[in-house]
Structure 1
């Protein structure tokens, strides 16, 4: 019987590769973590700092540096970070050279409520506490509490996602019956918006009005711009 040495060579090569892979993985898992790096997503203001993140890990008995990679529970580290009031999402991984890297998405406020309690509303429509590290430049909201967040959120979200409105709307005020008034930056007039409905139509009407009035240099002649009717803009002069 003729022996096929090619099969034997292939088998030995495969066995060697499996051994080397297992050896490398074991060696990698037994490597100690020597450094922790915290990375925040680009272009975000720091509502939570790297120092605060490290302190949070210590407070929750998450020891990172000096421990063996295979003994570190990465899922628990992520869970601890995601539970922070200022963190929307966190991902954790360990590099081959023993660095524990954490990538953090911070929560993003889109409005600041002033009332019996002061807090932010974030971009997901949830209540968010103030940060000791940074104060967000977002519209000020009055006349609401935690129970009205769901009602006002579509209005705040629309403003947040529109560059023109972000630049011009500085205040959102809830009035009787769930009607809203808006403040406009550097303008003497207010906007009577009405209820949180027909947002596209109302804001498109406002943009058209603003562009025309600005061109005609009439913006400072109004004290109220009424958008509640949806299909028209009713202006009250001073």
Structure 2
């Protein structure tokens, strides 16, 4: 009987490759985490710091250095980070050289509520606590604060944040009633009576036309109130 050495060689090669693969996997799994780093994605406004993140992980999971890689549950680490009120989302992964990296997206405030309780309204329309590390430069919201009026403020803030002119000039929102908002401007002394958040594009197209003409006529200092509540017109109250 003739021996087919090619098959024997192939079999030996497969056994050898399997052994090498098993060795590499076991060696990789036995490696330990040597360091932990934090990366903040997006804006530089740090409502939560790297020190706070490290403390949060240690309090909930203990020290993560010198922990075997295969003993660490990354999903559990992410849930610990996302439980913090300043964190919108977290992604955690292991690097080839034994590092643990946490990429964190912070919550983004759109407005700051000042009243019986102080907090932010974030870009998901949810309440966000103030931070001792950073104070966001966003419009101040005062007046009759309810869940419904905050949703109207949220819709309005999203609208003005998409417009450079309005974003730069509107610094305050006073909630007169649920569907009645009054605006404070950065440079002008008059207030803008917005009314409801319906037809915002038409209202501010009218306002921009009024504003351009009033600047040209040097008349802005003569008004104490400008109303956008009425259809297709701007009604001004003089001092």
Same fold (TM over 0.5): yes
Report the alpha carbon displacement of residue 26 of structure 1 after superposing the two structures with TM. 2.2
Helix, strand or coil: the match of 2:201?
helix
Q: Which moved more, 1:17-26 or 1:84-93?
A: 17-26
Report the alpha carbon displacement of residue 141 of structure 1 after superposing the two structures with TM. 0.3
Q: Say whether the 8 Å CA contact 1:126–1:149 is kept in structure 2.
A: no
Count of aligned positions: 237
Partner of 2:136: 136
Partner of 1:157: 158
Helix, strand or coil: the match of 1:110?
strand
Partner of 1:118: 118
- In 2: Cα distance, 1:138 partner to 1:161 partner: 14
Q: Say whether the 8 Å CA contact 2:145–2:175 is kept in structure 1.
A: no
- In 2: Cα distance, 1:137 partner to 1:66 partner: 41
Partner of 1:76: 76
Partner of 2:49: 49
Q: Say whether the 8 Å CA contact 2:110–2:122 is kept in structure 1.
A: yes
Q: Which runs of 4 or more aligned residues in structure 1 lie more than 6 Å from their structure 2 counterparts after TM superposition?
A: none
Q: Say whether the 8 Å CA contact 1:139–1:169 is kept in structure 2.
A: yes
Report the alpha carbon displacement of residue 125 of structure 1 after superposing the two structures with TM. 0.2
- In 2: Cα distance, 1:200 partner to 1:17 partner: 67
Gaps of 5+ in 2: none
Q: Say whether the 8 Å CA contact 1:127–1:146 is kept in structure 2.
A: no
- In 2: Cα distance, 1:82 partner to 1:94 partner: 18
1:56-102 alpha-carbon deviations (Å, 9 max, x no partner): 11121343111011101111100010010100011000101111100
Q: Say whether the 8 Å CA contact 1:111–1:121 is kept in structure 2.
A: yes
Report the alpha carbon displacement of residue 2 of structure 1 after superposing the two structures with TM. 8.4
- In 2: Cα distance, 1:144 partner to 1:199 partner: 21
What TM-score, normalized by structure 1, do the two folds share?
0.90
Gaps of 5+ in 1: none
What TM-score, normalized by structure 2, do the two folds share?
0.90
